[in-house]
Amino acid sequence: MSADAYDVVVIGGGSGGLAAAFRAAGHGAKVAMLEPSPLGGTCVNVGCVPKKAMWLAADLAERIGLASRMGFDVPAEPALDWAQLVQRRQGYIANIHASYQKRLDETGVARISRRGRLLDAHTVECDDGTQLRAQHIIIATGAHPLKPGIPGAELGGVSDDFFALQSRPARVAIIGGGYIAVELAGVLRALGSTVALLVRGQRLLGHFDAEVSEQLAENLRLQGVELHFGCEVKALERQYGRVRAVLQNGPEHVVFDNVLFATGRAPNTHALGLEQVGVVLSEKGAIEVDAYQNTSVPSVFAVGDVTGRVTLTPVAIAAARRLMDRLYGGQADARLDYDNVPSVVFAHPPFGTVGLSEEEARKRFDKVTTYHSRFRPMLQALGDGDVRTVFKMVCAGDDEKVVGIHLLGEGADEILQGFAVAMKAGVTRRQMEDTVAIHPTSAEEVVLMR
Ligand SMILES: Cc1cc2nc3c(=O)[nH]c(=O)nc-3n(C[C@H](O)[C@H](O)[C@H](O)COP(=O)(O)OP(=O)(O)OC[C@H]3O[C@@H](n4cnc5c(N)ncnc54)[C@H](O)[C@@H]3O)c2cc1C
């Protein structure tokens, strides 16, 4: 069969794939992008975007409570029309789909609504048998949620199922202690569900700063989330239309309307023809790439979650853009620096972090100093809210270079980006201190930490 010829074929139209396609087309390359599902991948359809929409609704619910205590006349338990919320969320997502499609049309990227797999180092076969030849092939197939191999696991859902909910579940168990588990627990609790968070380990957010993560756990408790550490789920069983969790070291009430696993994600490398072509995978099944997103096959590259490296949307996008700048934009050294990537856990309030936790810093540097600010933000104080803010800065060396900033508090999601720029530029504690504060804000505490 004769094959259509392109400069680059991108497999996957999520965060990384779209960014690769747009940037390559911008450099004048002839591009095809394969995506069998709605455009935007995990982030747009079952990740960042619908998650943030639900977080915003949960945030409003909390603020309605504060408003009432500050004197506004609002009902004690304002009703949420969940279906309307979902409808508005999905309408927003439909607009993103339309705008991506428009951009693909405008930039001349051929969108092919098919799954693809590699036939050889320069040929992609679509699932209708069509073959595409390309000088370069970019794998951007993302990852999928995992369930543990326990009896009855099919009775539990994953984050994708959370977004499919059409009404509020009364009683939910969330299994896991990572950021997705924390975010789902916070949203469901704020929107009125009774939530148990069942965590196998002894703490939340294993890779984040322990001290700040502890405060986040305390905030969840104050908000009414039942937290159970050292709790292992052995099986799920059906009980009168609900789900019973068989637990080791768990809570007494173990029957839930919904059980959601947030127990990790695995790269989508299955049935892509990678092994036949010689693309090397890691033990966890991720595509091995070097600092330039090169795989072990010279014409094949990989970006985003499929590589298992810092699995965040802006990372997939930045890696893809740099790769295309290198391949088609005449920037021979373009590559993404994976250090000091800021990120936010959308808890209530959010937890933003960039750089090293105190624990990591102590492993890497002889001299580590830390600075803190703990306070109750003005709105919480005025509205008798309990939730505390903790800001923490980790510095290393005699010049006290800032190597980690961890902000748990209202506005942390918006505050952190600017400080991430400062850290990237090598800011020191002294320079932070020399910066005049903006008063009265929470952000000022970042430059006033003691
Ligand atoms: C609940 C949740 C919340 C999240 N929240 C955030 C957040 O707040 N901030 C953040 O930065 N990140 C967040 N993430 C992570 C973020 O969604 C991912 O890091 C990001 O989507 C990765 O982009 P990607 O391009 O690598 O993969 P994806 O976006 O997953 O895209 C991969 C695409 O490839 C397609 N595909 C797969 N196989 C094939 C094939 N054989 N042929 C053709 N196409 C194929 C898939 O259909 C999919 O559309 C969240 C993730 C989840 C699950």
Q: In angstroms, rounded to a whole number, what is the distance separating the alpha carbons of residues 322 and 309? A: 15
Q: Is the pLDDT of residue 65 over 60?
A: yes
**Under DSSP, is residue 140 helix (H, G, I), strand (E, B) or coil?**
coil
Lowest mean pLDDT among 171-175, 378-382, 411-415: 378-382
Distance 251 CA to ligand 1 centre (A): 33
**Under DSSP, is residue 46 helix (H, G, I), strand (E, B) or coil?**
helix
Q: Is the pLDDT of residue 294 over 60?
A: yes
Lowest mean pLDDT among 269-273, 376-380, 389-393, 433-437: 376-380
- In this structure, the number of other CB atoms found within 10 A of the CB of residue 237 comes to 14
**Under DSSP, is residue 47 helix (H, G, I), strand (E, B) or coil?**
coil
The closest alpha carbon to 161, from 145, 177, 182, 142, belongs to 145
Confirm or reject: Cβ of 111 under 6 Å from ligand 1.
no
**pLDDT score of 249:** 83
Distance 139 CA to ligand 1 centre (A): 12
Confirm or reject: Cβ of 314 under 6 Å from ligand 1.
yes
pLDDT tens for residues 211-229?
Answer: 999 999 999 999 999 999 9
For 74-120, the DSSP string reads --SS----HHHHHHHHHHHHHHHHHHHHHHHHHHT-EEE-S-EEEEE
Distance 429 CA to ligand 1 centre (A): 36
Confirm or reject: Cβ of 12 under 6 Å from ligand 1.
yes
Q: Which amino acid is at 120?
A: D
Q: Is the pLDDT of residue 1 over 70?
A: no
pLDDT tens for residues 139-198?
Answer: 999 999 999 999 999 999 999 999 999 999 999 999 999 999 999 999 999 999 999 999
Confirm or reject: Cβ of 65 under 6 Å from ligand 1.
no
Confirm or reject: Cβ of 262 under 6 Å from ligand 1.
no
Confirm or reject: Cβ of 42 under 6 Å from ligand 1.
yes
Residue nearest to atom 31 of ligand 1 (CA): 14
Q: In angstroms, rounded to a whole number, what is the distance separating the alpha carbons of residues 232 and 210? A: 21
Q: In angstroms, rounded to a whole number, what is the distance separating the alpha carbons of residues 374 and 345? A: 19
Q: Is the pLDDT of residue 52 over 90?
A: yes
Task: Pull the structure tokens for residue 443.
Answer: 């952000």
Q: In angstroms, rounded to a whole number, what is the distance separating the alpha carbons of residues 132 and 233? A: 46
Q: Is the pLDDT of residue 2 over 80?
A: no
Catalytic residue check, 439: yes
**pLDDT score of 418:** 97
Closest ligand 1 atom to Cα of 163: 1
Distance 48 CA to ligand 1 centre (A): 9
Active-site pick, 97, 122, 136, 439: 439
Q: In angstroms, rounded to a whole number, what is the distance separating the alpha carbons of residues 396 and 173? A: 40
**Under DSSP, is residue 239 helix (H, G, I), strand (E, B) or coil?**
strand
Closest ligand 1 atom to Cα of 305: 26
For the chain, the 3-state helix, strand and coil shares in percent, each to the nearest 5, are: 35, 25, 40
Q: Which of 42, 100, 160, 309 has most ligand 1 atoms within 8 Å of its beta carbon, as the pocket-test mutant?
A: 42
**pLDDT score of 387:** 83
Closest ligand 1 atom to Cα of 184: 1
Distance 267 CA to ligand 1 centre (A): 10
Distance 421 CA to ligand 1 centre (A): 25
Q: Which of 126, 313, 346 has most ligand 1 atoms within 8 Å of its beta carbon, as the pocket-test mutant?
A: 313
The closest alpha carbon to 6, from 162, 155, 138, belongs to 138
Distance 356 CA to ligand 1 centre (A): 25
Confirm or reject: Cβ of 16 under 6 Å from ligand 1.
yes
pTM of the model: 0.96
Q: Which of 39, 43, 183 has most ligand 1 atoms within 8 Å of its beta carbon, as the pocket-test mutant?
A: 43
Closest ligand 1 atom to Cα of 307: 26
Residue 134 pairs in a beta bridge with 6
Q: In angstroms, rounded to a whole number, what is the distance separating the alpha carbons of residues 361 and 373? A: 19
